[in-house]
A and B are shown apart, each in its own frame.
Chain A
Amino acid sequence: MKIVLDSVTHARPSWSLAAKGTFTPGIHLVSGDVGSGKSTLALLMAGLLTPDRGTVIREGIDKAMLSFQFPEFHVTGLSVADECRSWNLEPEPVLASAGIMASPERPAHSLSRGELKRLHLACLLSREYDLLLLDEPFSSLDCPGKEWAARQIGRRTAGITVVFTHEQSTFPHIDHIWEIREGNLADCGGMPGALRAWERAPAIVKRLVAEEKIPADLTQESIVEAACRTQE
Chain B
Amino acid sequence: MQDARIRLLSACLLSAAAFISISGAAAAFIWWLVFTHRLRCIRHRMAVLAAVALFCLVSFVIVLSGGDGLSYLVRMTAILLIGTWLYADSVPGEFPALGTWLLGPKTGFELGMIAGMAMQVADGIGKDFDRLRMAYAQKQVPWGIRVLLPAGRLLLYDALRRADETTELLAVRGYRNGGTCCPRFRTPFCDILAGTCAVFVLIVAFVPVSEFFIHYR
Residues of A that sit less than 8 Å from B by CB? 48, 65-66, 73-78, 82, 86-87, 107, 109
Residues of A within 8 A of B139 (CB): 74, 76, 86-87
Given known A73-B131, A76-B132, A107-B157, contact A65–B138 (CB-CB < 8 A): yes
Distance between Cα atoms of A70 and B177 in the complex (Å) = 34
Q: Would B153 and A78 count as touching, CB distance under 8 A? A: yes
Residues of B within 8 A of A107 (CB): 157
Q: Is the interface of B mostly helix, strand, loop or mixed?
A: helix
Can you name 14 A-B residue pairings with CB atoms under 8 Å? Answer: A73-B131, A74-B138, A76-B135, A76-B139, A76-B147, A76-B151, A77-B150, A77-B154, A78-B150, A78-B153, A78-B157, A86-B141, A87-B139, A109-B161
Distance between Cα atoms of A175 and B124 in the complex (Å) = 40
Q: Is B185 close to A, CB under 8 A?
A: no
Residues of B within 8 A of A109 (CB): 157-158, 161
Q: Is B136 close to A, CB under 8 A?
A: yes
Q: Would A75 and B153 count as touching, CB distance under 8 A? A: no
Distance between Cα atoms of A109 and B135 in the complex (Å) = 15
Could you tell me the distance in whole angstroms from the C-beta of B172 to the nearest C-beta in chain A? 19
Distance between Cα atoms of A48 and B135 in the complex (Å) = 12
Name the 8 nearest CB pairs between A and B, nearest first: A74-B135, A76-B135, A73-B131, A78-B153, A76-B136, A78-B154, A109-B161, A86-B139
Partner of A75, one of B135, B141, B147: B135
Q: Is B134 close to A, CB under 8 A?
A: yes
Besides A75-B135, A76-B154, 19 other A-B contacts (C-beta < 8 A): A48-B134, A65-B138, A73-B131, A73-B134, A74-B138, A74-B139, A76-B135, A76-B136, A76-B139, A76-B141, A76-B147, A76-B150, A78-B154, A78-B157, A82-B150, A86-B141, A87-B139, A109-B157, A109-B161
